[in-house]
Chains A and B, each alone.
Chain A
Amino acid sequence: MKVKESFSRKVFNVINYIILGLLGLSCLLPLINLFAISFSQRAMVDANAVTFWPKGFNTAAYEYILSNKQYYQSFVITLGRVLLGWIINLVLIVLVAYPLSKDDPRIFRCRKYYTWFFLITMVFNGGLIPTYLVVSKLHMINSFWALILPEAMPMFCVLITMNFFRGLPKAIEEAALVDGANWFVTMVQIYLPLSKPSLATVSLFIIVSHWNAWFDGLIYMNLPEKYPLMTYLQSVVLKFDVTKITSEQLMLNPKLAEVTGRGIKGALILLCTVPILMIYPFLQRYFVSGVVMGSVKE
């Protein structure tokens, strides 16, 4: 049975859609503008004549980026850190969250102490220089592991997982224990399969944060060839100076003369964000469910 909508409700809906639509456009249009600029002719970009459709279509910016092996190197590093970081993070998160989800002091006596121990890291951190010094004294400067280990256990994700574990009926666990399973088997065979939604959410957080991280690459890596993709993007967007291309280069490779700073930056931003954008639609729903997940405790 359809409830008849009141007039004020209709007005509300219309205004609501308009506001949300504008909000959506304000996110989408800059991206479209970048897209148009990255495919446009230099003279048009320089005259600021490009809006939402490429003018003087060409692919010089993309050719410039894709002919540089730095892009591929950085891409491989980012891919590696996402995959490896995801696995390591997930293992650590589960191993921490499971014991911490045990309320009963007879099962885990020092739970409170450990919970606070971890929670403090969420609120306070060492700050930039001490963190850098720790990483440096552990000889991880210039090493791939510096991108993974310092952030190997995001406490926020532990909280989500922990609360989800707590929400599962205790009776299932007791049944498993009665049947002779030990704690580890219970965790792996009972809890993990039941917590797929929460693990998916956490995975999404991890993957996105690893993909987007750039600052650690900047401070821990001493040579650009070791930069992850986002650090490379950062360095290009802030530092790329089209005037550094010498007159001699322009003369010998007229294609270079087609390149603009804005075009290069736009193209690279798209090349760096599109891969992660593509997985968003598939994982979007976990974001929504993930945020409220575990918020209601039994």
Chain B
Amino acid sequence: MRNKKIWALLLTGAMVMSVVACGKSGETGGDSNVGGQEETQAETGDSGNTEDEDGLTEVSYMHKLNGTEKYVGNDDINNNVYTRCYQDELGIKLNFTVAAAGDDYTQKLTMAIASNDLPDLIDLPAKEFSELANAGMLADLTDSYDTYASDLLKQTIEADGGVQLASAKVDGRIYGIPQLSAADGTCDLLWIRTDWLENLGLQAPTTMDELIEVARAFRYDDPDGNGVDDTWGIGFQKDIVKEDGASPGSFEGFFAAYGAYARAWIKDENGKVTYSGINDGMKDALAQLNQMYEDGLIDPEFGVKDTVKLSEDIAAGKVGMFYGLEGMPWGACKSNIENNPDADWQCYPIVSATSEPAKPITYVRISRYYAANANCKNPEALVKIANVFQEKINAIDSTEETLNTFGVDPSTGINFAEYAAFAMDPAIQKCNTYYAEIKATLDGESTVDEIHPEAARYYNVIKNFIDNGMDKGQDSLGWNYYKFIGPEGSWNTIINDYKANDKLVQSVFFGAPTPTMSTNLSALDKMQAETCVNIIMGSQPADSFDEFVSNWKSLGGDTITEEVNEWYNTTFG
């Protein structure tokens, strides 16, 4: 009797084990990876390819995920449309051995570096890339790049004339392939609610004085006509000194009116790189902001509001003007339109406070470098694989069908391109090319068939929006594209104009943090941010800015400036 119970218990245990085992094999489609044997199992599992088995080059890879990847059917990270393509077309079996998103990835990477357990190919943030490259732990990719990179890949990577690629070189040799950043897209635009302008009979501002008048009217003249005093003149968020931008509610566009930028490294006429956050212009800008704060035009809680909180205010119709990036229609503005179909937004060029035209600042932010381990036997695999994405997605002769397979699936909206390794997004030209193509098609100068299929998708949405009477309440998505890449889009109306008139200023430093930056910069940034907030909120007089400047210089700022100049001269010298 008693023994029966023990048996029953053991059997239950065995059943549970088998359930777990079933679950595991079921989830991976039965053909691959449990535990450490994933390579061998996956290979034998992929039947139909057995002849090529020996010919396959196996490469391991550590990949930073987007965090939004979605797999369907039996697909997973090691078995999807891209990995199959690498295997069939290139004879390369790419094994994703480690993959994680965000900070988790950085942790895994640090662990792998510490235990000297790096895979063949690695996805590296700027800091780690520069450390490993200088320590001789990465493979020289120069020859692979020259030999194997397709014209399209070279075109994408060197779209800016090789400026960003230069940051991936040590002694003139390429040690990594940078994911290019679309610097032009990081300039600030002035976003304004045009329905409020109309309600109050105002014009879009062209100078700082006009901007302040508009802000005052938005604050005190009840622009939304609801009889309640619930609107702010201009929206700002809390991060004044921030490397990767803060939109909506950025300060850079405002500072630019005074020829200053909070976080930029600018080359002066003597060819020396200096920090713009200590410019005299900053002092004037802060004094002006303080005045606006005293006048009640700025939300007194701005110091604790991040971009998300400010977005909430915008979506709730409490803010009618802010500095932000080109893509703003996607976020808060669209929600605002959905909540209130009468609302309408338009972007304008930033205004100047002086006789000089205002020049917005742009930042190069290379998010990652793709590199190969010095011990890797086939570093050229990296370049070969990078070609695939260009050929499938980026090529001008890419068809709708290829795009459906390798890009976004039209029925489910799953983005297959997220599976790709070394996906060099042609971010620099993309918006421009697409915008030009869409405009030409709208003007009847070309047809949908002639333009890139991705552009054609945007074109269809925009055309649909225009044809249906531009009803933004009904079709907020159409409005979205219309304002982004369509006729009234930010690229069309402003950024191209900035570019044509040479108005964009690019921050020249975009390397890995220099030694003194690693030790002192966070304290300096904090000091700068506190000084700015204190001056704006009036708890510190504007003249105390001079004191901050001398402190900044003595607390490591001067050393950092020297290091930045050194970096600039070695990289571009």
Contacts and interface: CB of A to CB of B under 8 A. Distances in A.
B481 A222 contact: no
A43 to B, nearest CB: 4
B27 A46 contact: no
Given A77-B23, A247-B458, A249-B415, A223 B17 contact: no
B413 A249 contact: yes
Interface in B510-565: none
B481 to A, nearest CB: 7
Nearest to A250: B477
A236 interface: yes
A254 interface: yes
A202 to B, nearest CB: 16
Contacts of A136: 115
B210 interface: no
Contacts of A251: 457-458, 461, 477, 481
Interface stretch (A113-121, A163-171, A238-246): A238-246
B444 interface: no
A129 to B, nearest CB: 9
A253 B68 CA distance: 15
B8 interface: no
Residue among A132, A223, A244 with the highest chain B CB neighbour number at 10 A: A223
Contacts of B316: 47-49
A72 B27 CA distance: 8
A225 interface: yes
Interface string A222-237: 1111000000000110
A68 B27 contact: no
Interface in A59-78: 67-70, 72-73, 76-77
Given A73-B27, A132-B111, A224-B99, A47 B315 contact: yes
Given A67-B70, A80-B19, A46 B413 contact: no
Given A143-B35, A222-B98, A235 B71 contact: no
Contact of B477 (A77, A144, A219, A257): A257
A116 B338 CA distance: 66
What does DSSP make chain B's interface, helix, strand, loop or mixed?
A: helix
B457 A47 contact: no
Given A47-B312, A144-B35, A253-B413, A189 B20 contact: no
A87 B16 contact: yes
A141 interface: yes
A84 interface: yes
Given A244-B68, A256-B413, A222 B458 contact: no
Given A223-B99, A254-B477, A43 B339 contact: yes
A43 B338 contact: yes
Interface residues of B, number: 69
A252 B104 contact: no
Size class of the contact patch on chain A: 35 or more
A211 B20 CA distance: 15
A188 interface: yes
A248 B408 contact: yes
Nearest to B9: A87
Contact of B67 (A41, A139, A241): A241
A32 interface: no
A26 B313 CA distance: 25
B149 interface: no
Contacts of A241: 66-68
B326 to A, nearest CB: 12
Interface in B277-314: 311-312
Interface string A120-154: 00000000000011001001011110000000000
Contacts of A256: 413
Interface in A248-282: 248-257
A42 interface: yes
Contacts of B23: 76-77, 79-80
B568 interface: no
B13 A46 contact: no
Interface of A: 41-44, 46-49, 67-70, 72-73, 76-77, 79-80, 83-84, 87, 132-133, 136, 139, 141-144, 188-189, 218-219, 222-225, 235-236, 238-241, 243-257
9 contacts: A47-B335, A80-B20, A83-B16, A83-B19, A84-B16, A142-B36, A235-B104, A244-B68, A253-B412
Interface of B: 2, 6, 12-13, 16-17, 19-20, 23-24, 26-28, 34-36, 38, 65-72, 76-77, 96-104, 107-108, 111, 115, 311-312, 315-317, 330-332, 334-336, 338-339, 407-415, 454, 457-458, 461, 477, 481, 484
Q: Nearest 8 pairs between A and B by C-beta?
A: A253-B413, A43-B338, A46-B335, A80-B20, A47-B315, A48-B312, A76-B23, A239-B102
